[in-house]
C-alpha cells in the first residue's frame, strides 16, 4: 500500500484548495471525492459566489478574505482564467441589523474603503433597489463575483500538475488510526498517510460520528430570474452584488445579470436534509414564493419569470461560524469543513492555511474564533 504525506477527503472548495497548496509545497498528496468535481451534488456550484471584504459576520474573517483576494489573482494568472470579477457590493438593511452594523464594524476596524448610504442615496445610485425609508447600506468597491466551478477546476489542475494523486468517483467509507498516521478505506482500496484532512462538507458528520458534532445540513435553493422591467440596470457594469437583510435576521443575496439571468437566493432558512437522500431537482412553488415576497417589495424589476433554479447545501454550525481544528483523539487528523454557507470566497486562503496547520503546526491567521473545540460536548 502506497503511503502519502497527506490524504484529503472531499475535493470541493476547501479540499481542492488544500490539495493545491500542499502540492505546491512539495509533499505527496492523495485526494478522494465520491463525485467528479466540480459537480452539482454539494455546496460549490451554481455559477457564482460572492466575495466581499467588509465582513459583517465578524471582523475575524477580514485578514483571511484579504489574503484570498491575492491568491485568487495568483491562481487566475496561473490558470489563464477569469476567476473573479469585481462589481462592487452593497449590504442593505436596518441600521441596527447585523448586515449593516457588522459591515461597518469590520470596515472601520481594518480601515477598509467604504461608504455608508441612506435609503434616498441608495435609490439614486441604483434604481433597481427600492429599500424602505429607514434602511441603510454599506458599499465597497472591492466586492465582486467568483466563478466556483472554474476556481475548483483551477485548484485541482494545479494540484495535479504538482503531483497530487486525485481520485474521483471514490467513496470513503471510513478511516482509522494507523501507527503515527491514518489509513483511509474506500470503495477502490485503502491508502495510508501521515496526516489526514477532512473537508467533506455535508458528509463530514458521518466521517467523525464519534464526535457527535452539532452540525445540520440545510437545503438551499437559488433562482435565476428574467428581469420584469428595465433589464439594463441589472447588467454587471451597473449592478453590484447585494445582500439584503430585509427583516432582522432574514436575508437574501444576489448578483448582476452575467448573461443567464439574475441569480438570487435566501441566505439560510433551508430545511434540514440528509445529503444522500436530498432531491436536487425538485423546486417547489413555495420555494419560489418565499423569495418573490421580499423581492417584489425591494427589487420589483428583478422578478420576472424563472429561467432556472438549483439546489445546493449549507453545512451549518450552531453559531454559523467555521469549524476548524484537529481531531481531539488523533492529532494527525485536521477537520476543516462546515462553513455555514459563507466559505467559498475564502477557500483559496483557507486551503493555504490548512497546509500550514498540517505541515507547520500553525496558521498565519488567528483561527481561534473557529475552533472545533467549541462544538464538542
Catalytic residue among 150, 219, 263, 266: 263
Active site residue 48: yes
Residues ≥6 apart with Cβ < 8 Å to 280 = 40, 41, 310, 311
Active site residue 267: yes
Active site residue 271: no
Max CA pair span of the chain: 67
Active site residue 185: no
Catalytic residue among 312, 315, 317, 339: 312
Catalytic residue among 21, 45, 321, 342: 45
Query: Phi and psi of 342, rounded to 5°?
Result: -140, 40
Active site residue 45: yes
Residue keyed to cell 417584489: 296
**Strand boundaries in the chain, DSSP class E:** 3-9, 29-33, 49-51, 84-86, 89-93, 115-118, 136-140, 144-146, 165-168, 172-178, 181-186, 189-198, 216-225, 241-247, 250-254, 262-267, 306-316, 324-327, 330-336
Active site residue 21: no
Catalytic residue among 21, 34, 48, 199: 48
Burial degree of 284 (CB within 10 A; 0-12, 13-18, 19+): exposed
Catalytic residue among 49, 52, 142, 219: 49
**Taking a C-beta distance cutoff of 8 angstroms, is the pair 218, 316 a contact?**
yes
Catalytic residue among 52, 67, 267, 321: 267
Residues carrying an active site annotation? 45, 48-49, 263, 267, 312, 345
Amino acid at each position: 500500500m502506497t503511503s502519502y504525506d497527506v490524504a484529503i477527503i472531499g475535493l470541493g472548495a476547501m479540499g481542492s484548495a488544500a490539495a493545491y497548496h500542499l502540492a505546491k509545497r512539495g509533499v505527496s498528496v492523495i485526494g478522494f471525492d465520491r463525485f467528479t468535481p466540480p459537480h452539482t451534488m454539494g455546496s460549490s456550484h451554481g455559477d457564482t459566489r460572492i466575495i466581499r471584504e467588509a465582513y459583517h459576520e465578524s471582523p475575524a474573517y477580514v485578514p483571511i478574505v484579504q489574503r484570498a483576494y491575492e491568491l485568487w489573482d495568483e491562481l487566475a494568472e496561473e490558470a489563464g482564467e477569469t476567476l473573479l470579477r469585481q462589481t462592487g457590493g452593497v449590504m442593505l438593511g436596518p441600521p441596527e441589523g447585523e448586515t449593516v452594523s457588522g459591515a461597518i464594524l469590520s470596515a472601520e476596524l481594518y480601515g477598509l474603503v467604504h461608504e455608508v448610504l441612506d435609503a434616498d442615496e441608495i435609490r439614486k445610485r441604483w434604481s433597481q433597489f427600492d429599500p424602505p425609508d429607514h434602511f441603510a447600506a454599506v458599499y465597497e468597491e472591492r466586492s465582486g463575483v467568483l466563478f466556483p466551478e472554474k476556481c475548483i477546476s483551477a485548484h485541482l489542475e494545479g494540484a495535479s500538475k504538482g503531483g497530487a494523486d486525485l481520485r474521483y468517483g471514490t467513496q470513503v467509507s471510513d478511516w482509522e488510526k494507523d501507527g503515527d498516521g491514518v489509513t483511509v478505506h474506500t470503495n477502490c482500496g485503502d491508502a495510508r498517510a501521515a496526516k489526514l484532512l477532512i473537508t467533506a462538507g455535508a458528509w463530514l458528520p458521518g466521517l467523525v460520528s464519534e464526535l457527535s458534532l452539532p452540525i445540520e445540513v440545510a437545503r438551499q435553493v437559488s433562482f435565476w430570474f428574467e428581469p420584469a422591467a428595465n433589464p439594463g440596470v441589472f447588467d454587471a457594469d451597473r449592478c453590484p452584488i447585494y445582500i439584503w437583510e430585509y427583516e432582522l435576521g432574514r436575508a437574501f443575496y444576489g448578483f448582476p445579470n452575467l448573461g443567464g439571468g439574475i441569480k438570487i437566493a435566501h441566505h439560510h432558512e433551508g430545511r434540514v436534509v440528509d445529503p444522500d437522500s436530498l432531491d436536487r431537482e425538485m423546486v417547489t412553488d413555495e420555494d419560489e414564493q418565499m423569495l418573490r415576497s421580499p423581492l417584489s417589495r425591494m427589487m420589483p424589476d428583478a422578478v420576472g419569470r424563472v429561467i432556472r433554479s438549483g439546489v445546493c447545501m449549507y453545512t451549518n454550525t450552531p453559531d454559523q461560524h467555521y469549524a476548524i481544528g484537529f481531531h481531539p483523539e488523533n492529532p494527525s487528523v485536521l477537520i476543516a469543513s462546515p462553513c455555514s454557507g459563507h466559505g467559498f470566497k475564502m477557500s483559496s486562503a483557507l486551503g493555504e492555511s490548512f497546509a500550514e496547520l498540517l505541515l507547520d503546526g500553525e496558521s498565519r491567521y488567528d483561527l481561534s474564533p473557529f475552533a472545533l473545540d467549541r462544538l464538542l460536548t
